[in-house]
Structure 1
Amino acid sequence: MEFLPRSERRRIGLIAGSGPEAGADLWIKVIEETKDLLGERYAGDLDGPRVRIISSPILGLSMELETNDVAVWPELERVFSDIAGQTDFVAIACNTLNYYERQIKAEPRIAELVSVGDVVERYLTEHGHDSVALLGSAPVTKMDNWSAYQRLARKFNVEVPDDTAELHQIIYDVKRFGGNDASVVKRFGEMIDKLESETVLLACTELPLINYKNAQKDLIDVTRLLARRLVEKSFCKDA
């Protein structure tokens, strides 16, 4: 990879609010991935990523996306237009909201959307996966027209948990009680154990916040994949 000089590094935009902690988590991972990518070239603050972030509480309505589409899309489009004027690449810190990728890309935009769908498809292809488990909010795991991951089923075998309603509630509980809550950790672990797939996509920004490890499963933090791709596009010439 050929790195850009500091003066030419591109600006990153982050859209948060669904939820605010998930947006902060993505921002932290952008910083971490910057240090990892640059390695010995990272010389301190002047090599930090150039980031703008907007957090809109209205976007929290995305948990019930089909019901709240009439409120969510106008707000997301407004926020995207606002942040696009100050950045080069924009990511939405919410897997569910990436459903609107098609609407965003359908119109000319000042900044480019880096979508979770593109990032995950790229990762699975590069690593030779043909099957994967998908964990996310109800709109995501339904794998219907409201899912940002519907297209994965055309290239990969996608497993979703049997009790998607319970997973949806776990996500709500992370928002309320945090990822260290004992009940949240226990219920999440039980759900992971029931999955047949060895590779598991944590396709909701709340799920990587759960304090849980599993030595038998490869838990893929989609937030970190997204952060890495943003950093590559910001710092590298041909990313």
Structure 2
Amino acid sequence: MIEKIIGIVGGAGPFAGLDLCQKILEETIAEKDQDYLTVLNWSQPNRILDRTEFLLGHMDENPGVAIAEQVRRLGEAGAAVVAIPCNTAHSPPIYDVIEAELKRQQVQVKFLHLVEETAVFLQKHYPHIKHVGILSTTGTYRAQIYPNCLQPMGFEALVPNIELQETHIHPAIYDLTYGIKATGTATPRARTDLLTGAEALRQQGAEAVILGCTEIPLAIPETTIDDMVVIDPTRILARALIRESNPNRLQPVVS
């Protein structure tokens, strides 16, 4: 079969884009270099304004316009299936603008929805799980992106209380001294703060926790925390991109 070229809007943020590239490699069946799929990672972070800052009303320019422009450029470069590894970009105020811009410019690529792919994966592979915790940026938290997607599918979505969200979860991603975005790595404090959030969700009854910001898997690479399943949307998105490019190259699910 003719493989479709994969495109990644990789600057939101840059380390999340690289993590998605890595996971595409890990989830591909290959015996030699030539077996791997063609991937275009378009990383131009200076062109995409912060998604959380927009959702919190701290800026007027919608990042969706710039994201759509990069999807268009990926299409022009040959990509047929494209995704952005940023959960917050899938909030309706941003994602709806992306879709509208792609339609207006008649961009002929398939643009995958990270949050919907995650929900479908959870339903298919963990049908026994009903209580799902979510760790995310405050933008994703306030926009209720995951609860709005999960609840119609029969899941109960659990989130940290607002104090824990603003003192531990969001700073682990954004703090200028130890946050993952600022340091480019999972500092010990960032990991500790995120694990504190995961434990709080477990105590609320979460059977699984979604790492609902694509920087969080850099700090929590585990597949389980005690008896709680860890759901990595970046890996799920990698699998979805392979499925659309060449399903024969997709590794079986390991759960």
- Quote the residue 2:159 is aligned against: 160
- Corresponding letter in the other structure for 2:32: G
Asked whether 1:185 is paired with 2:177, we answer no
- Quote the residue 2:36 is aligned against: 48
Deviation at 1:181, TM superposition (A): 1.3
SS at match of 1:223: helix
- Quote the residue 2:132 is aligned against: 132
- Quote the residue 2:52 is aligned against: 63
**Scaled by the length of structure 2, what TM-score is found?**
0.80
Instruction: Map 1:115-126; keep pairs closer than 5 Å.
Output: 115-126=113-124
Instruction: Map 1:1-239; keep pairs closer than 5 Å.
Output: 4=1, 8-34=2-28, 38=29, 42-57=30-45, 58-66=47-55, 67=57, 68=59, 70-85=61-76, 86-99=78-91, 100-106=94-100, 107=103, 108-126=106-124, 127-128=126-127, 129-144=129-144, 147=145, 150-155=148-153, 156-162=155-161, 163-166=164-167, 167-172=169-174, 173-195=179-201, 196=204, 197-211=206-220, 213=222, 214-236=225-247
Deviation at 1:212, TM superposition (A): 6.0
CA deviations on 1:185-205 (whole Å, 9 max, x unpaired) are 221111111112020000111
Deviation at 1:230, TM superposition (A): 0.6
TM-aligned CA distance change 1:69 to 1:209, over 3 Å: farther
CA deviations on 1:20-60 (whole Å, 9 max, x unpaired) are 111000011011111xxx3xxx2311111111111122325
CA deviations on 1:60-115 (whole Å, 9 max, x unpaired) are 51131323351412211211111122211001011111223333344243111111
Deviation at 1:180, TM superposition (A): 3.6
Q: Is the contact between residue 9 and residue 43 of structure 2 (CA under 8 Å) also seen in structure 1?
A: yes
TM-aligned CA distance change 1:211 to 1:73, over 3 Å: closer
**Scaled by the length of structure 1, what TM-score is found?**
0.85
Measured on the aligned residues, the alpha-carbon RMSD in Å equals 2.1
TM-aligned CA distance change 1:157 to 1:78, over 3 Å: same
Q: Is the contact between residue 17 and residue 60 of structure 1 (CA under 8 Å) also seen in structure 2?
A: no
The separation in 2 between residues aligned to 1:158 and 1:69, in whole angstroms, is 30
Deviation at 1:222, TM superposition (A): 0.6
- Name the % identity: 26
The separation in 1 between residues aligned to 2:156 and 2:39, in whole angstroms, is 36
Deviates more, 1:161-170 or 1:222-231: 161-170
- Corresponding letter in the other structure for 2:137: S
The separation in 2 between residues aligned to 1:151 and 1:182, in whole angstroms, is 32
The separation in 1 between residues aligned to 2:146 and 2:64, in whole angstroms, is 14
SS at match of 1:218: strand
The separation in 2 between residues aligned to 1:84 and 1:212, in whole angstroms, is 31
The separation in 1 between residues aligned to 2:115 and 2:220, in whole angstroms, is 25
CA deviations on 1:118-167 (whole Å, 9 max, x unpaired) are 211211221213221111111211244xx366332322210011122231
The separation in 1 between residues aligned to 2:52 and 2:33, in whole angstroms, is 36
The separation in 1 between residues aligned to 2:60 and 2:70, in whole angstroms, is 15
TM-aligned CA distance change 1:69 to 1:226, over 3 Å: farther
The separation in 2 between residues aligned to 1:187 and 1:43, in whole angstroms, is 39
The separation in 2 between residues aligned to 1:150 and 1:56, in whole angstroms, is 30
